[in-house]
Amino acid sequence: MKTLLVEDDPVFSDVLATALRRRGFDVTVALSCEEAASLINQSPPDLAVVDLRIGTGSGLTLIPLLTRGPRPARTVVLTGYGSIATAVEAVKLGASQYLTKPADIDAIVAALTAPDSQAPQPLPAAPRPLSVKRVEWEHIQRVLTENQGNISATARSLGIHRRTLQRKLQKRPVRQ
């Protein structure tokens, strides 16, 4: 199947493309959002693996291009910056799966080839609610996504000082 891999890290994209080709996928690599959009318009792929952050751009902008038309591409979003907010946004836009790095090749292939009827079922609600710090982290990530990664606009939206937001973003996500 014709597969588009959108990843701005040339070393990682080469390794992943090689691993996918060994498993029988016909892989085309794009190193930027612009290059990917051009390839999608020229010849829409059947499958796509899209990095969430591509340089200064967002892989989320490519999902509508991939999922339009009579034969939408099965799209897997792959990211090193996983959060519930971006996962929800990716699925709302039409992504089939959302995987966090490091994801092994078998997980990526399974996400690309799983029939829709075998898509993962939602997990039951956690017996213990999320901590206030975790909820705050998720909210910040959602607002940051809404502002296309613009820290100043996000700080204004949240009503906090820009430097305070930068300090919060430098910390690792709070455990659930």
Q: Residue 150 is part of which domain span?
A: 132-170
pLDDT of residue 173: 62
CA dihedral 104, 110, 116, 121 (to 10 degrees): -60
Take residue 62 and report the two structure tokens written for it. 């490519």
CA distances from 32 to 7, 56, 96, 99, 107 (A): 7, 9, 21, 19, 24
Say which residue the tokens 């490091």 belong to. 102
Spatial neighbors of 114 by CB under 8 A, at least 6 apart, are: 96, 97
Spatial neighbors of 104 by CB under 8 A, at least 6 apart, are: none
Give pTM, 2 decimals. Answer: 0.64
Same domain, 70 and 145: no
Residue 74 resides in a domain: yes
pLDDT of residue 122: 45
Residue 138 resides in a domain: yes
Same domain, 36 and 86: yes
pLDDT of residue 90: 78
User: What is the pLDDT tens value at each position of the chain, 176 positions in all?
Assistant: 888 888 888 888 888 888 889 988 898 898 888 888 888 888 888 888 888 888 777 888 888 888 887 788 888 888 776 677 777 777 888 888 888 777 788 888 888 887 654 444 444 444 565 577 777 777 888 788 888 889 999 999 889 999 998 888 887 665 55
pLDDT of residue 156: 92
Residue 156 sits in a domain of what CATH number? 1.10.10.60
Same domain, 93 and 151: no
pLDDT of residue 152: 92
Other CB atoms within 10 Å distance of the CB of residue 70: 5
Residue 158 resides in a domain: yes
Same domain, 51 and 107: yes
* 142: nearest Cα among 154, 152, 130, 133: 154
How many domains, the chain?
2
Residue 11 resides in a domain: yes
Query: What is the spatial distance between Cα 47 and Cα 56, in angstroms, rounded to a whole number?
Result: 24
